[in-house]
Each structure stands twice: as structure tokens, then as C-alpha cells.
């Protein structure tokens, strides 16, 4: 269907039908117009998997890919495009036409709870990765939705806070990935952020949605709200918000009809938004190909292989004193220590999570790699949970059509584990909005001791053991950060249990009278806490082994949408565990799994450190591939690791207060801050070690003098000087030696990942346009590259520069915003 057909269809619609297109029908579906054969389409979260229309817990299984910070760590846009293509295929398996991804907000701080879901601190790297991702997704006929537009760099008060961002920082940093998504990738959808920008909600900010996005950049797709982020009728439609999600509508429908009839919204404005929705339906093939009604869990071998490869390429080797890669022939006994050994930490929390087909733990991955030749010994040492570990085992369920568990119970389907999120009626005939439930199971402890039980719930809950009330989250319910702020704090209770005895555990639940986003959920956990004796056991084990591998970090409870972190430390006693193990065995290697930089106070005491992030369902296999040298560690950091929290550029302004967060650091985020202020990082932006070595040489430029509008081509030779095949990431930074306005010391403007066999040399070619030399002059509302001398700096990180050359721009290049179509 072409534009003419869209216009014909639009002209055949009644005003009521046009209005109906501008809000969702349900949580994941748009509204159909059956009279004219206009279908509804399904949208789906999220960036590292296609969950489909199920809840955040359970649901149809899906492939879990590496999270965004891991993908950006690959610095491999061709690989990211393949991941995008696979995610488009995953979306098809769930009957979804639109994927709510990618997330391209910047790593302004290390504390953002959604740091893992975003690519980088650098706008150019974020832009190039997001372009590749979008092109991969949309190449499969699935719409990508770049988000969150704009200024959502923290989760603190995200529903209401105003991000106060100066024009230069907005243009040179935070808008750049969105601009690239529109101009280069031609994304089909954009999602507004929850927050305000400079005092106006993003979803009703006319300057953002119409002036910049639609007019200046020429965006012709759909602008949708984040879920429940539409606040007005007239203001949001007139600002350029096309689609209110989710449905049923709160601010469109009859309210919008009345606004049009009253002349508060022009018919042309309404038609433009309706046309954009029809255009999206056309682009995703909704008119020609009906989506399957049933969601499918298709575990594709090619996706398994791709996830493993992407997980490997995103793993960053931060330190290696020669212990890596491990040689199985030199090992008799290997210690696997830490809370992440037997738990596969594959993704962050929040709307990005999926019900993975499977999860490979580090223990399983290493065991598969080694076979029977090496003895594996395990100790947890300590824990790293935020919520008590989930109570495992099948639970029976019965429901009541009231909130006090009275009357006749209705049996429902059994529950696979003790976390449930209800999005529809829980059992036939039971009111989905007002019900209570009783979940029952039996728990058999494996050790004697004082067990801790915990409950969190969006709604009221309580837990009984053998009929005894142990956790009261009913009469003593307190608001917490769980379930996007709709849930409680974790309520806990203790009870001494005996090993081998089976105990009846009953969880009672009632839906909330009112709730954020209409969420209804409960989660029960149980644990026997680990004490100092477990740290000592871990150290003793390490002393008896050839090498000690310590698997530490966080999980989706700490790295999650809806909450930020207050510090940069590893949680619990993990730092103490590493110190003790390293003291017992000098061949200690730490494998970190976090969604952001953390402090490493023990760095000089260990032999090796790997940053593995959250690499998806193949986590253990990808980590083992790097540890044992089946693959070269070719990941490079997309975010600076500061020595301490106070070294973050945004530290003095984070997270804000009184309804505002001031981006007072301006342009100087990440390495720009460290370079300009001469603050040494723990690990610089772009850093990452390899199992081989590389030499740079022969830097050449296509010209030493440029005229406005010229393009500069930079070439250089890279040689693998080691004994193993490897991949090097060549990074090109640009330095303006003298500018009228303050500028960072240097800025990333090009990169290339190159595969090299031992002794092999390849020539890398990178191209710079005028925008690569320019800053944004807010007084002139224009991009400006000033006449004068520039340097190109080429190296393997922002602090490891191997070659440089200078050139001169003969005259000023000025590009006003209305003509801002230059390539990046």
C-alpha cells in the first residue's frame, strides 16, 4: 500500500474512526477499524528479546540476547545488525509487528538503574550501534521504536522529573542517537520519555516532537507515548504525540472528539497522526500478512550461536597478568567461587526481561568446556541478592472473586515458581481487577537453621509456614521500588527449620484497591543466610586449587528499570570475598557481571578481571569461551570506569531534587570530563585487552587542507604482532585545537573493528564529514566548524593513542538547523 492508498483510506474514515487509531486498544494492541479492513497490530518489549504480549514474569519463552551495554562493547555494527535481524524474527514468532527498542539514552552517570539497557556514554558510538540495530530489525519487516526521547538518563522520579538540559548539550550529546535513528536508520517509531524536558513533559513537548523530530529531521513515522506517559488530550495531540499507549484510552477517544469539534485540535493535525499510524501498519505488512494468533517459543540454533558470539565479543578483558587464557592441560583442580557461579545472570530487570528458553550458568559453561579432565570445586562464599532468592517449586493456586479470600474458591493453573504477575483473569469467571488468591507448596530445607522468608507484592500479601504467619505484608504493607513503584518493600520474617522436613508454605494475596499501571503481582523468597564461615570455606578452597575463578556482580534486582543505585560498590560481602580468595591464591581471576561500572578496590591483588555484563542465555558458554581462549576477548568499554563515584561528571547534579535534575556538567560527560579535567580513570573509555598484540602505523590523510563541505579520509595500517588471531577496535578521535566556545579535549568520530591473523596487516579506512568537526552554536542555532587547525587521534582507547596527524579547515563551515541533513 502506497501513500496514495493511505490517503484514500484516510479520507474514507469517519472522524470517530480516525480518533480511534490514536490510542491503544489494550496493553499491547492498537485499535482496528474493521469496516475498512484496517487491522490491529501488537507491539512488544524489548531491547534484548521479544517477550510478546505476556507478563514480565513467565509467559511464552523467548531468546535472551546480550543487553545493550554488552552489544555496544562489541563495537561491531555488523554483528549488532545481525542481532537486530534475529530480534525481528523473534518478534514475528510472538505475532508482534513493532519492537519497543532500542534504548539510546546516554550513560550520564554510573548510577542509572537502566544503564545496562543503554549503549554508551558517547553519542557517536550510541548512534552507530543503534543505526545498525534498527536496520537489522526493520529489515525483517518489524518496526523499531527508538526510546526514550529524550533526557531519561536516570530512574529517579522518572515519571515527573524535569531534565534541565542546555541547548548545546542537548544537541551535541543527547539528541545525537535519536537524530541518527531518524536520518540514517529511518526508524519507523519513536517513544517519548516519561520525564519533562526543561519543564514540559516529553509527550506534550511541541518543540521536541514537531519542531525538531518531524520538521527539522523529517521523521515520518509514529510518535508513541511510553506506557501511561500521556497526560493531556489537546496539548499532547497538538504537540505531535500520535499514539497514546497503552489502551484503553484515558486521554483520547471521546475527549479528543470533543476537542476536535470545539476547534481545539485541527482536523489536519488529527489526520496527520492517523496517517502516520496507517503508514506504520503498511510498513510492517499488517494489511498483507495477518499475524499469527498464538505466540510461539522457537528456539533457533542460529540464534543460539549468534547470542554466544555476541556475548563473547562484548566481554571486556580489563586485566591479565598472564594467567589467561587458561590451559586445561595445566590444570588439575579449578575453584569456582562466588554467588554468580551456578546462577546465570543473563539480563537486567524491568520491561527488558524475557522468559528465556534456557540459561547457561558459568559452572555449566566451564564444565562443558573442560569435560572430565579437570576437577571443579565450588563455594558460593557470599550472596548478592537484593530480594531473597525466589522460592522454587510448583505451587497450586486457587482464586476468589473478592479481596478477602471469602466464598467459593476457583482452581487456577499451577504456578511454576513463587512469582506471579497477573495481566488477565487468573481463572475462569474470576474478576481480573478485584480478586484474592491462595498459592500453596511444600518446602524442604537442605540445611538446619534460621531461614529468612520474604514477600513483595503489588497488592497485599502474607506468608504462612505450617499455618503460622511468618511474613505480614498485608496489614504492614509499605511502598517500595518493586514492580515499577507499584510494589511494596520486601517484608521479611524468620523461622528455624530442620533439614529434611517438608513444610507447608501458603501465600495469600489480594489485588490493590488502586495501583500504578494496574499491576497485580506477588513474589516470595526464602534463604538460609551465608555467614563468615562461608567466606573462610571459599578461601580454603582457593588455596587448594591451581586457579580460582570468582564470579561476582549484580543481577536484575539491582540493575533495573524503576530504580537507581546509590553507590558504585559490589553489593554484600563480595569485595571481602575477592580479597580473601586473592590472599589465598595469587592466580585469582574475577569475572564481573554488572550493568555498569563498579569500584574495584582489590584490582592490584588479582591476576585477571573480565567484565562480562549480562550476555544473554548463553552466558556461561560465552564466558567459558573467553576464559579458555576459544575466542579472543575483543570487547572494549563503552563507558568510562571512574576510580570513585565522585569522579563522575554528573555526581554533583545527580539525581536531582524538587522536581528537577540539572545537567550541570553540560558537554563534559564520561571521557570528555576525565580528559578535559585531567582526572585519571580506573579504565578509560574504549579500553580492553586482548590475548594478542597490535601495532599501528602508516597514518595517512586524504588532504591536509579542507574547504567547507569537504570530506576527509583517514587510513592507517594495523598489524597483529602476536601469536594468536584477534580483533582490534581502531578508534578515531577529533580535536579542535582552538574554538570560540568550550569544547571537549577530543571526541570520538569514527571506529572500526578488524579481524587479524597472527602477522597479518590490514588497512583501516575512516571518513570524516563536516559534522565530525563541528560544535553546536546555540546563539546562531547552527552547527559550526571553525576555520583552523584540527587533529585526528587514532588509538585503542581514549587514553591509548597510537598515531596522530593535523589538518586545517580553511574557512568556517556553518549549517543552520533547517538544513541540518549532514551525515555523521
Asked if residue 820 has pLDDT above 80, the reply is no
Element (H, E) at 263: none
SS3 content of the chain, % helix, strand, coil (to 5): 25, 30, 45
Q: pLDDT category, 515, cuts 50, 70, 90?
A: low
Q: Which of the pair, 371 or 104, is modelled with greater confidence?
A: 104
Domain boundary among 469, 504, 527: 527
**180 with 224: CB under 8 angstroms?**
no
CATH code at position 638: 3.40.50.1700
Task: Note whether residue 780 is domain-resident.
Answer: yes
Q: For residues 256 and 336, state if they share a domain.
A: no
Residue 274 confidence (pLDDT)? 98
Closest CA to 251 of 238, 232, 265: 232
**108 with 640: CB under 8 angstroms?**
no
CA 320, distance to chain mean position in Å, is 28
Q: For residues 492 and 363, state if they share a domain.
A: no
Quote the CA–CA distance of 682 and 650 in Å, as a whole number.
Answer: 17
Q: For residues 544 and 493, state if they share a domain.
A: no
Task: Note whether residue 760 is domain-resident.
Answer: yes
Task: Note whether residue 660 is domain-resident.
Answer: yes
Domain that holds residue 125: 3-51+64-283
DSSP class of residue 652? Answer: G
Q: For residues 239 and 320, state if they share a domain.
A: no
Residue 658 backbone phi and psi in degrees, to 5: 55, 35
Q: For residues 373 and 461, state if they share a domain.
A: no
Q: For residues 523 and 536, state if they share a domain.
A: no
CATH code at position 192: 3.20.20.300
**163 with 767: CB under 8 angstroms?**
no
Query: In sequence order, which residues have a C-beta less than 8 Å from that of residue 678 and are 6 or more positions away?
Result: none
Q: Hey, which bits of 373-435 come out as E strands?
A: 375-379, 392-400, 410-417, 419-421
Q: For residues 96 and 223, state if they share a domain.
A: yes
Torsion-angle region of residue 720: left (phi > 0), alpha (psi -120 to 50) or beta? beta
Question: Which residues are registered as beta bridge partners of 415?
Answer: 395
How many domains does the chain divide into?
4
What b/e sequence results for 779-808 when a residue is b if at least 16 CB atoms lie within 10 Å of its CB, and e otherwise? eeebbbbbeeebebbbbbbbbebbbeeebe
Residue 699 backbone phi and psi in degrees, to 5: -70, 125
Asked if residue 821 has pLDDT above 70, the reply is no
SS3 463: strand
Task: Note whether residue 167 is domain-resident.
Answer: yes
Q: pLDDT tens digit string along 697-738?
A: 989 999 999 999 999 999 999 999 999 999 999 999 999 999
Q: What is the dihedral of CA 385, 390, 392, 398, to 10 degrees?
A: 180
* 655 preceded by a cis bond (ω within 30 of 0): yes
Quote the CA–CA distance of 5 and 334 in Å, as a whole number.
Answer: 66
Residue 657 backbone phi and psi in degrees, to 5: -175, 165
**43 with 100: CB under 8 angstroms?**
yes
Quote the CA–CA distance of 458 and 717 in Å, as a whole number.
Answer: 58
Task: Note whether residue 591 is domain-resident.
Answer: yes
Q: pLDDT tens digit string along 154-174?
A: 999 999 999 999 999 999 999
Q: Going edge to edge, which strands form the sheet with 608-611? A: 316-320, 608-611, 588-593, 547-553, 333-337, 375-379
Average pLDDT for 234-254: 97
Q: Hey, which bits of 569-725 come out as E strands?
A: 588-593, 608-611, 660-662, 694-701, 705-706, 712-720
Residue 718 backbone phi and psi in degrees, to 5: -125, 130
CB atoms within 10 A of CB 357: 18
Q: For residues 711 and 730, state if they share a domain.
A: yes
Q: Hey, which bits of 62-136 come out as E strands?
A: 96-99
Asked if residue 628 has pLDDT above 80, the reply is yes
What b/e sequence results for 383-392 when a residue is b if at least 16 CB atoms lie within 10 Å of its CB, and e otherwise? bbbbbbebbe
Q: Going edge to edge, which strands form the sheet with 189-192? A: 42-44, 96-99, 143-149, 189-192, 222-224
Query: In sequence order, which residues have a C-beta less than 8 Å from that of residue 714 and are 6 or more positions away?
Result: 699, 700, 701, 702, 732, 750, 765, 766, 767, 768, 792, 794, 805
Enter the C-alpha cell of residue 85. Answer: 535481524
Q: pLDDT category, 819, cuts 50, 70, 90?
A: low
Quote the CA–CA distance of 817 and 756 in Å, as a whole number.
Answer: 42
Q: For residues 337 and 442, state if they share a domain.
A: no
**83 with 618: CB under 8 angstroms?**
no
Q: For residues 632 and 606, state if they share a domain.
A: yes
Domain boundary among 283, 315, 339: 283
Task: Note whether residue 432 is domain-resident.
Answer: yes
Q: For residues 521 and 542, state if they share a domain.
A: no
SS3 630: coil
Q: pLDDT tens digit string along 301-311?
A: 999 999 999 99
Q: pLDDT category, 822, cuts 50, 70, 90?
A: very low
Quote the CA–CA distance of 520 and 659 in Å, as a whole number.
Answer: 28
Domain boundary among 217, 249, 283: 283
Residue 251 confidence (pLDDT)? 97
Q: Picking from 50-59, 105-114, 772-781, which range would have the lowest pLDDT averaged per residue?
A: 50-59
Average pLDDT for 230-235: 98
Pairing of strands 491-497, 200-201: unpaired
Task: Note whether residue 679 is domain-resident.
Answer: no
Task: Note whether residue 149 is domain-resident.
Answer: yes
Q: Hey, which bits of 702-743 come out as E strands?
A: 705-706, 712-720, 726-736
Q: pLDDT category, 486, cuts 50, 70, 90?
A: confident
Enter the C-alpha cell of residue 204. Answer: 506534550
Q: What is the pTM of this model?
A: 0.95
Q: What is the CA radius of gyration of the chain?
A: 27
Asked if residue 513 has pLDDT above 90, the reply is no
Q: pLDDT tens digit string along 407-465?
A: 999 999 998 889 999 988 899 989 888 999 999 999 999 989 999 999 999 999 999 99
Q: For residues 307 and 422, state if they share a domain.
A: no
List C-alpha distances in Å: 35 to 249, 256, 267, 279, 695. Answer: 21, 21, 21, 18, 67
CATH code at position 440: 2.60.120.260
Q: pLDDT tens digit string along 386-416?
A: 999 999 889 999 999 999 999 999 999 998 8
Q: pLDDT category, 805, cuts 50, 70, 90?
A: very high
DSSP class of residue 683? Answer: B
Quote the CA–CA distance of 652 and 583 in Å, as a whole number.
Answer: 36
SS3 579: helix
Quote the CA–CA distance of 446 and 528 in Å, as a whole number.
Answer: 9
Element (H, E) at 693: none
Number of Cα atoms under 13 Å in the Cβ half of residue 226: 23
Q: Which residues are catalytic?
A: 226
Average pLDDT for 259-278: 97
CB atoms within 10 A of CB 207: 14
Average pLDDT for 189-206: 98
Closest CA to 352 of 680, 604, 101: 101
CB atoms within 10 A of CB 327: 11
Amino acid at each position: 500500500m502506497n501513500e496514495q492508498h493511505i490517503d484514500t483510506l484516510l479520507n474514507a474514515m469517519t472522524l470517530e474512526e480516525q480518533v480511534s487509531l490514536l490510542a491503544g486498544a489494550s496493553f499491547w494492541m492498537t485499535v482496528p477499524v474493521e469496516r475498512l479492513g484496517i487491522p490491529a497490530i501488537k507491539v512488544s518489549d524489548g531491547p534484548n528479546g521479544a517477550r510478546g504480549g505476556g507478563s514480565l514474569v513467565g509467559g511464552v519463552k523467548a531468546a535472551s540476547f546480550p543487553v545493550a551495554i554488552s552489544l555496544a562493547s562489541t563495537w561491531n555494527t555488523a554483528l549488532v545488525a545481525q542481532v537486530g535481524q534475529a530480534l525481528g524474527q523473534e518478534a514475528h514468532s510472538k505475532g508482534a509487528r513493532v519492537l519497543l527498542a532500542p534504548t539510546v539514552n546516554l550513560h550520564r552517570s554510573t548510577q542509572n538503574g537502566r544503564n545496562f539497557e543503554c549503549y554508551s556514554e558517547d553519542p557517536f558510538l550510541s548512534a552507530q550501534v543503534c543505526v545498525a540495530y534498527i536496520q537489522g530489525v526493520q529489515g525483517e519487516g518489524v518496526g523499531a521504536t527508538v526510546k526514550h526521547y529524550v533526557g531519561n538518563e536516570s530512574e529517579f522520579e522518572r515519571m515527573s522529573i524535569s531534565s534541565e538540559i542546555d541547548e548545546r548539550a542537548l544537541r551535541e550529546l543527547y539528541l545525537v542517537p535519536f537524530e541518527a535513528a531518524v536520518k540514517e536508520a529511518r526508524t519507523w517509531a519513536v517513544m517519548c520519555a516519561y520525564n519533562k524536558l526543561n519543564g514540559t513533559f516529553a509527550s506534550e513537548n511541541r518543540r521536541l516532537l514537531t519542531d525538531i523530530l518531524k520538521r527539522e529531521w523529517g521523521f515520518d513515522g509514529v510518535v508513541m507515548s511510553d506506557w501511561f506517559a500521556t497526560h493531556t488530550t489537546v496539548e499532547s495531540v497538538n504537540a505531535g504525540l500520535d499514539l497514546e499507549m497503552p489502551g484503553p484510552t484515558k486521554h483520547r477517544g471521546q475527549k479528543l472528539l470533543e476537542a476536535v469539534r470545539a476547534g481545539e485540535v485541527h482536523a489536519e493535525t488529527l489526520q496527520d497522526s492517523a496517517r502516520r499510524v496507517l503508514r506504520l501498519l503498511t510498513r510492517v505488512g499488517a494489511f498483507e500478512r495477518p499475524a499469527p494468533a498464538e505466540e510461539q517459543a522457537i528456539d533457533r540454533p542460529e540464534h543460539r550461536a549468534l547470542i554466544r558470539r555476541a556475548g563473547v565479543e562484548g566481554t571486556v578483558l580489563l586485566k591479565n597478568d598472564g594467567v589467561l587464557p587458561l590451559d586445561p592441560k595445566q590444570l588439575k583442580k579449578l575453584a569456582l567461587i562466588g554467588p554468580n557461579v551456578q546462577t546465570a545472570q543473563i539480563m537486567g530487570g524491568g520491561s527488558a526481561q524475557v522468559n528465556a528458553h534456557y540459561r547457561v550458568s558459568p559452572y555449566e559453561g566451564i564444565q562443558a568446556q573442560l569435560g572430565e579432565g579437570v576437577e571443579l570445586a565450588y563455594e558460593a562464599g557470599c550472596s548478592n541478592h537484593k530480594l531473597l532468592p525466589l522460592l522454587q517449586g510448583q505451587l497450586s493456586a486457587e482464586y476468589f472473586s473478592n479481596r478477602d479470600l471469602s466464598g467459593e474458591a476457583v482452581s487456577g493453573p499451577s504456578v511454576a515458581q513463587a512469582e506471579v504477575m497477573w495481566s488477565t483473569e487468573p481463572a475462569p469467571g474470576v474478576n481480573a481487577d478485584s480478586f484474592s488468591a491462595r498459592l500453596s507448596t511444600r518446602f524442604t530445607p537442605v540445611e538446619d537453621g534460621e531461614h529468612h522468608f520474604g514477600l513483595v507484592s503489588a497488592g497485599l500479601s502474607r506468608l504462612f509456614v505450617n499455618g503460622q504467619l511468618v511474613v505480614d505484608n498485608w496489614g504492614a504493607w509499605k511502598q517500595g521500588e518493586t514492580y515499577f513503584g507499584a510494589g511494596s518493600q520486601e517484608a521479611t520474617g524468620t523461622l528455624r527449620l530442620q533439614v529434611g522436613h517438608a513444610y507447608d508454605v501458603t501465600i495469600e494475596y489480594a489485588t490493590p484497591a488502586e495501583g500504578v499501571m494496574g499491576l497485580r503481582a506477588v513474589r516470595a523468597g526464602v534463604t538460609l543466610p551465608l555467614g563468615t564461615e562461608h567466606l573462610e570455606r571459599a578461601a580454603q578452597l582457593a588455596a587448594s586449587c591451581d586457579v580460582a575463578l570468582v564470579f561476582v556482580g549484580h543481577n536484575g534486582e539491582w540493575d533495573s528499570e524503576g530504580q537507581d543505585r546509590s553507590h558504585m560498590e559490589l553489593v554484600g560481602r563480595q569485595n571481602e570475598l575477592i580479597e580473601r580468595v586473592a590472599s589465598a591464591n595469587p592466580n585469582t581471576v574475577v569475572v564481573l557481571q554488572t550493568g555498569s561500572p563498579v569500584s574495584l578496590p582489590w584490582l592490584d591483588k588479582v591476576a585477571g578481571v573480565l567484565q562480562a555484563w549480562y550476555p544473554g542465555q548463553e552466558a556461561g558458554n560465552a564466558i567459558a569461551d573467553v576464559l579458555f581462549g576459544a575466542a579472543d576477548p575483543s570487547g572494549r568499554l563503552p563507558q568510562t570506569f571512574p576510580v570513585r563515584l565522585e569522579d563522575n561528571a554528573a555526581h554533583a547534579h545527580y539525581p536531582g531534587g524538587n522536581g528537577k535534575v540539572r545537567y550541570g556538567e553540560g558537554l563534559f560527560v564520561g571521557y570528555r570530563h576525565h580528559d578535559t579535567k585531567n582526572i585519571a580513570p580506573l579504565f578509560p573509555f574504549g579500553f580492553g585487552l586482548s590475548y594478542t598484540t597490535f601495532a599501528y602505523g602508516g597514518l595517512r590523510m586524504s588532504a591536509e587542507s579542507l574547504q567547507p563541505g569537504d570530506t576527509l579520509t583517514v587510513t592507517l595500517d594495523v598489524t597483529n604482532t602476536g601469536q594468536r588471531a584477534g580483533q582490534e577496535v581502531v578508534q578515531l578521535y577529533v580535536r579542535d585545537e582552538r574554538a570560540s566556545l568550550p569544547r571537549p579535549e577530543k571526541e570520538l568520530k569514527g571506529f572500526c573493528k578488524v579481524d587479524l591473523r597472527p602477522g597479518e596487516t590490514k588497512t583501516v579506512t575512516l571518513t570524516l564529514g563536516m559534522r565530525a568537526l563541528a560544535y553546536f552554536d546555540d546563539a546562531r542555532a547552527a552547527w559550526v566548524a571553525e576555520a583552523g587547525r584540527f587533529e585526528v587521534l587514532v588509538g585503542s582507547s581514549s587514553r591509548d593513542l597510537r598515531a596522530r596527524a593535523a589538518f586545517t579547515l580553511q574557512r568556517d563551515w556553518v549549517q543552520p538547523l533547517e538544513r541540518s541533513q549532514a551525515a555523521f
